[in-house]
Structure 1
Amino acid sequence: MSRGARDYQVDEAENTRYVAIFVDGERSAHAVVRATGTVEEAFTRELRWGPSDLLSRVADEPGWTAHELDVPLANRRLAELVHSVRNAEHNSGLTEFSYYAAFQGSDSICDIDQSYMLIRLLGPLREEQYDGYGTWSFTDKLDRLNSGRDWTHEAIQVSASEAAHLKSECDRELAENYAHHLLTEDGAPSAVVRVPLWPEPKFGEEAFTGDGQWRSSDLLSRLPEQVPETEWARVVEHMAALVRRRHAEFTGDYAVFRRPIDVLDLESAEEVVREPATEHRHTLRLLDYRMPDRRMAEFRARVFLRQAQRRAEPVDGHYYFAVFTTVEDVWDADAAIAVLRCPAAGTVRWERFERESAWVRASRSRWDHHLPIGRAEVERITRRLAAAEDPR
């Protein structure tokens, strides 16, 4: 359930003071306290305001410190707290995609419906934005945020269910703001055409013909007869048919999907097979894997990685991950540069293998690729890493 921005933002108010409570060992504030007269409230790691007695407890709690804040800094501390909690919630290593919602500023980052862009990470250097219709395209928004180029904007990690909500909202807006028309040729789909329902010079007719892009078009205007509008569900089905027709000429392996319309998002493939089996009802032909196209090799490796994430099982109460610097290396356990683990239940706390029976506190780098592994792979890789560290 989303909340209004004012539930999170702090405002200038007479006789109101803001205080951040820090606890030793925590990078972000443990809580932000708002005190107006004798009324005290705190914004905590539950990400909401509630009654508080934290200020009276500071002196008696070892490791607690209190810092007075002005309004801009209080809002900054709130944003940092939200980032900290959400990053911890969505840092298990077992999610197929890392999703982010982008906002115009930090004052509304917990009202999901105020975000203007849904982003997913496919790897350390590859991010995509949701374009509606089940399709995604390249963006560098997170890179711009992390580098400070879009310093007034914010992005927070969101759950898969929150991402599904934002996708649904994006699709709803497209369905409301565009008229969609299905074009056929000799009984086969040839294009989907959309026309904006608001007349502005910079927006005009666009067509989707199966290559993943909407392009400026005059197909509809050149037809001698008017083509009726069609409902949203048929639009997406027609787009999927166009993608399948375009891929029919390819000669490589087959990507397997759960639903027919999932072919609109290649990254949603559940596996890649040389030849489809009877149970593989929805498939899409790929480029020949022997062609010198690194993008296809990376795609196959990402599908393999997500397969492993779905099948991961804990080993003695922990999930274990082999760490690789490039996604293509996930096929080769001997290419792993480290092994990480985190508890299968409770708070996510990452540790890195250092030597036999020794694990040290670590973080999960967004620049690496993490493959869930079982007991045999854990023993094999850690044995190799320990031998490489042994000076004898």
Structure 2
Amino acid sequence: MSDKEKSVVSFLIDDTPSAEQASKTFHDDYELNFQDFLERTVDERAAEDFFYSNNGVKKAGRRLRKKEGDLKSATATIQQFRAAHEKPLNTIAYLVGRCCRELGIDVKPVTRLKRLDTIIDKLQRKSLDGNTANATCVTNMNDIGGCRAIFPDLMSLELAISQLQGTVEKVGRVRIKDIDNYISNPKPNDCGYRSLHVIYRYDHTSGKSFNIEAQLRTRLQHLWATTVEIVDILEGTKIKTHSHSANEDKDDLQIKWEELLSIMSRYIADAEGAIELGQEDKDQFSIRLRELNDEINALGRLKTFRILSEKVEACCDDATEHVLLMVNENSLELIFSEEFDNYSKAISVYNAAEKMTRSHSGVNTLLISTKNMGQLSEAYPNYLGDCASFMLLLQEAMQFSGS
């Protein structure tokens, strides 16, 4: 990974629902049962009112993947297809919220439509799993419309999925297409991501159908996922989007962070009862976490995030695109900061500052994209609290001793 790639965040926080948006798109109290909700919100628009055909969407996706033909028209078609997911998405979010209310579980789903640039990026990636060529089709994407629900523990999550399955069986226009259980069966090359993904199929009265993804995860699993976002911002890594890539395509820092996160995922899964670790495994994990913390200063880096976040949030000038920070990790004091409205100048000053401070122990130089920080704040409103909670979990895991 080049210095330029390492220096500033290049990924987008876009596969994350916005809590602020969610409160505006469906009823908070879920007063109606789901069947009544469907009947009252039925949409009688004809198929032609959507201004696209599935074949047209597929062709637009192929043009964007190959970067050929009328890309402006192709983008407009994908945008129409994306926008059409809004009502089905809100319906599924209501379903999840209503079922949680019936069970007395204090959970409020949040929603998001996948960003257009993320859809295009997904189409143009060479591989989505690091092994096979990317052959995804826009109409087969399950997560253009997505909602997320955070449960207090694994037991409440399991109660909810049972309730959701029972409710859907009574409804004709909504069905469960698939369930991906990444809690008990996480992907082997995803550094420990755990969540339950429920793929719904929503049949519109026009005859068109939509896939909507609901992510159900526990609070501790959410802390882990939030930390992945934070690490990518702090370190300029691409753990969220490229953890499946071969190690030779990553720098040493990303490899070590991924190992730490993978161990913490198993530690959390054991604490929640999703898996059972033996005494020897726990001891070895504790030792390895301490080694990794010494090598990448994980706790120190996460501690600086509070200072970083406060400074970036204080930037009131809309022209500011990047903020350069020098932080003393030992005293948690901000040594120096400068705002930039030009990336080229920002990266030039950053590289010079990094060389100057390289020999100074405990001094971190960071270049942060204000856009990505803003997206993090919107998608994870409690990200500072989540970061602090994850640090406590990490300290607990590092100090574990079976003796």
Report the TM-score when normalising by structure 2: 0.25
**Which of 1 and 2 has greater Rg?**
1
Question: Structure with the greater relative contact order (CA < 8 A, sep ≥ 6): 1 or 2?
Answer: 2
Kindly indicate which of the two structures has a greater share of residues assigned to helix.
Answer: 2
**Length-normalised TM-score, structure 1:** 0.26
